[in-house]
Structure 1
Amino acid sequence: MSTPTEVANLLSGCHERRDAAPVRVLIATAGSHGDVLPFVALGQALAARGREVLLFANPHFQSMVEQAGLRFVAIGTQQDYQALFRATAAADSKLAFELVAQELANLGPVYYQAMKAELRPGRTISIGNSLLFAARLLRETDGVPCVTVHLAPSVFQSDVAPARLAARWIKASSPALLKRLAWWSLDRFFYAPHFAAPLNRWRAELGLAPLREIFRAWIHQADLLLALFPDWFAEPQRDWPAGLALTGFPLYDHGEHVVVPPALQEFLTAGSAPVAFSPGTASVGNQAFFKASVDACRLAGVRGILLSHFPGQVGELPADMIQVDYAPFGALLPHLAAFVHHGGIGSTAQALRAGVPQLICPLAYDQFDNAQRAVRAGVAIELAPKQYTAPAVAAALQRLMVDPSVRANCRQAAERLAAQGPGIERACEQIESRLIPLLKSPRPPPSN
């Protein structure tokens, strides 16, 4: 007997044979590699199913998107990308998030207009991430079926199990009154001025009603809500949005198009397993991080790999260390003794898949929450930026590399992910079965 997904795909295929024009999928994404790569993977998988995919992003990612066989639509400039991440390099999580919020507020209408220009009435769906609102507004103004994709669990405001949004934050055990006060303060003094206010100005221009406390409910309003992480990494809570589909980590690193640099390949085979250090693919101003990392390798007696896209952050290195711009984590991480990173969800997931111990130094965004979950899983140690000194890093690395319980927990996580596989196909199945059928029964835009 056919499954519901197979029936939906069959019906969708019959419908498209009657109408030669394929379903058009508009995907909007912004941010660093960890933010963009999952959407490239999603677009590539949907294109393989016969969908016409257009991906809207900064020109920094154009070659990557086109190598994946997708049509690319540029939003902003390469200079915008570099300027934003130079600005967010300050060791201030609040300031970093404010600057990102301002950039997204400026770009939101640009994404919206670019996507609106590519609409094919009755044949278009849109996909957007947590903080890019263009796809959700196209749903309101034009009735375009919409998918919202959450890459990390930190986006959910839960009283049952609060995500860790800062170095010090409320916990599940915190008094109920303190939880309400924390969420109210966050909405009132941060989300309202930096996200809701510019969004409501934009909504007024579109003739839409204003919104309040958008992070409580509105950012979860879509025809399909996807979470690209597994339930064992973040167990769904009873106060999470209804209808949420957890599909698993995407685990995509563009590795089929990017080979490991020959110099790095030679380095990996020339000695003992090294430790890799990455403050994030879009992070600059990390001279102190890399200097402490180099000194930590010397103290711990390990070889080191420094990953940085931006020149000038790494000085002259000893013979047992190497600097590379980028390497696919799927190919690199299994060769490591440990992986030191910032706690981005992509880096965390790839390290879990590789079964490599992690030293995490979170700075902003979802990083505190991801770090906490990795520590709870017994695969990581966390150091605050102020604690990131050569002696502390060396001590943490030595502990990670010899602790048998850490090794066992890393192996268990890797086995789980190997058994589950990447979540992209499951995400596509959700889109095919739940969104494509909506195009067969055109509907008016939601009322306001």
Structure 2
Amino acid sequence: MRVLFAVSPGLDHLYPALGLASAFRTAGHDVVVATAGVTVDAAVRAGLTVRDVAPDADFSAVFPKKGNREERTRMMRQRGREITASGVTPEIILEKFGTINDMMAEGTLRFAETWRPDLVVYSRLQGTALLVARALGVPAVENGYSFLREGDLPARLLPHLAPTFERLGVPVELPSVTPLYFAPQHMMRGEGEGWPMRFVPYHGGCVLPDWLAEPKRRRRIVVTLGTIVPGVAGVGSLGSVLAAADGVDAELVLALGDEPDLEPLGTLPDNVRVVGWTPLSALLPTLDGIIHHGGAGTTLAAAHAGVPQLAMPYGADNWINAEIITDAGIGLDLQPEEVDSGVLNRLLDDEALRKTAGALAAELAAQPGPDAIVPRLADLVG
């Protein structure tokens, strides 16, 4: 069987799909990823065959940086509050991804017409998959990467794709769509029917540095803001968090990528270690706690590792994910200015949090993984 993975440009769209892509390959199926932008090289580094369907596209023009850092932060937070209140992807996001899909549609369709996939798996906003599946008469599988169940998402996305369908001569109709949810039903929010599948955390490979390969000398907390927040909001909000490190008998690892502007943070306490880009999957086995922005992938990866969490929501669906963390009893939900040494010590010492986090990790590990889902998806093809 041939399986085409249609993935939007962005690591947060690609990484959640890699467990399923690997499972298809292990089961003997052929897999190709149709994507563009930064996701091309990331998929190649993950060992996959890739078709760059829009090599000349400028995706930054779809999400331009407007205003100064304060204005961008305010806009990001406002949009996050809207998503929290509605529990659905806003129309403005669907509109923008309609543009992204239009930039990638012809390249994806032309390749698919040549390669002839039997099944199309797609990151949930990559509507080119709906177009390809409808054109070729094959099933589509929505690969979830958030805690939101949006059963009507393909139908809401279709009007934003209609001009592209018409331009390429494809009937403006949805194919058969099967959603995959990346967490158990009790952790999901919203409405919709789908199949739960165990999440397989992936954050890229690396050569372990000495400090990660050796036994740690004290407890360790990592502080990360994902890939989007540092570029939009900067890292200045972490000042109070890092200042609180002085009152904690632990090492705080500041993992903000390769080129963060740390000047707003001033002089850092001696127990703060600044590292360049380091995959979260390499850090998690060594951690006693994690502080993050509330990203869905980060939240679930930390839950799989059984690590107590402190979420500090910034935007998008971050507040929803932070609520899931507190509802599950595996962590805390605070803003950076509310964090002091007492909060950090609770993250390290609260046995109830640690016990609940360990129990949830065991539950997540028992969920059916991609290897169990592959035969069910093959049945869709017949």
Q: TM class, shorter-chain normalised? A: 0.7 to 0.9
1:69-128 CA-to-partner distances (Å, cap 9, x unmatched) read: 211223457974699496696242455777754542222023221221222476432111
C-alpha distance in 2 between matches for 1:224 and 1:199: 19
**Structure 1 residue aligned with 2:135:** 141
Amino acid at match of 1:90: T
* Pair 1:434 & 2:376 matched: no
* Aligned mates of 2:30, 2:283 — CA distance in 1: 32
Describe the SS at the equivalent of 1:117. Answer: helix
Within-5 A mapping of 1:352-371: 352-371=303-322
Structure 1 pair 31–122 and aligned structure 2 pair: CA distance change class (3 A): closer
The equivalent residue for 1:48 is 26
Could you list the runs of 5+ residues in structure 1 that have no partner in the other structure?
1-22, 159-186, 212-217, 438-448
Does structure 1 retain, via aligned residues, the 8 Å contact 2:252–2:273? yes
2:302 aligned partner, one-letter code: A
Q: Could you tell me which residue of structure 2 aligns to residue 226 of structure 1?
A: 180
- Hey, what does 1:440 align to over in structure 2? none
2:178 is the alignment partner of 1:202: no
Instruction: Work out whether residues 9 and 39 of structure 2, in 8 Å CA contact, stay in contact via their aligned partners in 1.
Output: no
Alignment of 1:81-96 (within 5 A): 84=63, 90-91=73-74, 92-95=76-79
1:240 counterpart = 2:233: no
Change (3 A) 1:31 1:118: closer
Across the aligned residues of Structure 1 and Structure 2, the Cα RMSD in angstroms comes to 3.4
Tell me: CA distance 1:37–1:78, structure 2 relative to 1, closer, same or farther (3 Å).
farther
Matched residues in 2 for 1:419 and 1:275: separation? 26
Q: 2:225 aligns with which of 253, 259, 279?
A: 279
Distance 1:155 1:230, change over 3 A: closer
The alignment status of 1:124 with 2:118, answered yes or no, reads yes
- Cα 1:103–1:410 change in 2 (3 A) is same
CA positional deviation for 1:66: 1.7
Counterpart of 2:212 in structure 1 is 265
- Would the aligned equivalents of 2:240 and 2:339 in 1 still touch at CA under 8 Å? no
Query: Which residue of structure 2 lines up, in the alignment, with residue 10 of structure 1?
Result: none
The one-letter amino acid of 1:296's match is: A
Give the Cα–Cα distance (whole angstroms) in 2 for the partners of residues 313 and 293 of structure 1: 16
Return 5+ residue gaps in structure 2 as ranges. Answer: 81-89
Counterpart contact for 2:94–2:160, Cα < 8 Å: no
| Aligned partner (choices 353, 366, 369) of residue 419 of structure 1 | 366
Contact 2:221 2:288 in 1 (8 A): yes
- C-alpha deviations, 1:343-387, integer Å up to 9, x for none? 22211111112111100112333322222111111001112xxx3
8 Å Cα contact 1:85/1:282 also seen in 2: no
- SS of match in other structure, 2:254: strand
Q: TM-score, normalised by structure 2?
A: 0.81
In the alignment, does 2:359 pair up with 1:405?
Answer: no
Q: Rate the CA distance shift 1:394–1:77 in 2: closer, same or farther, 3 A.
A: farther
Q: In structure 2, how many angstroms separate the alpha carbons of the residues matched to 1:125 and 1:101?
A: 24
- Give the match for residue 11 of structure 1: none
Contact 2:241 2:339 in 1 (8 A): no
Question: 2:166, 2:61 → 1: CA distance?
Answer: 31
User: How far apart, in 2, do the equivalents of 1:54 and 1:32 lie?
Assistant: 17
| Aligned counterparts of 1:122 and 1:210: Cα–Cα separation in 2 | 20
Deviation of 1:270 (Å): 5.0
Q: Is 1:24–1:124's contact at 8 Å kept on the other side of the alignment?
A: yes
TM-score by length of structure 1 reads 0.70
Letter of the 1:402 counterpart: D
- 1:53/1:347 CA distance change after superposition, 3 Å: same
CA shift digits 1:8-39 (9 cap, x unpaired): xxxxxxxxxxxxxxx33221222543321122
Q: What's 1:165 paired with?
A: none
Q: Secondary structure at the match of 1:90?
A: helix
Cα deviation code 1:240-269 (max 9, x no counterpart): 23xx21112222334xx323334x427x74
Larger Rg: 1 or 2? 1
Instruction: Write the distance in 2 (CA, Å) between the matches of 1:306 and 1:145.
Output: 43
1:104 and 1:83, CA in 2 relative to 1: closer, same or farther beyond 3 A? closer
**1:122-155 C-alpha deviation (Å, 9 max, x unpaired):** 6432111221111112222332321112222314
Give the deviation of 1:43 after TM superposition: 2.0
1:314 paired residue number: 262
Instruction: Classify 1:393/1:116 alpha carbon distance in 2 versus 1 (closer, same or farther; 3 Å).
Output: farther
Percent identity (aligned): 21
Q: Given that residues 245 and 271 in structure 2 are in contact (C-alpha distance below 8 angstroms), is that contact kept between their aligned partners in structure 1?
A: no
Secondary structure in 2 matching 1:37: helix
Contact 2:142–2:178 (8 Å) recurs in 1: yes
Verify the 8 A CA contact 2:180 2:197 in the aligned structure 1.
yes
Match of 1:182 in 2: none
How far 1:406 sits from its partner (Å)?
0.9
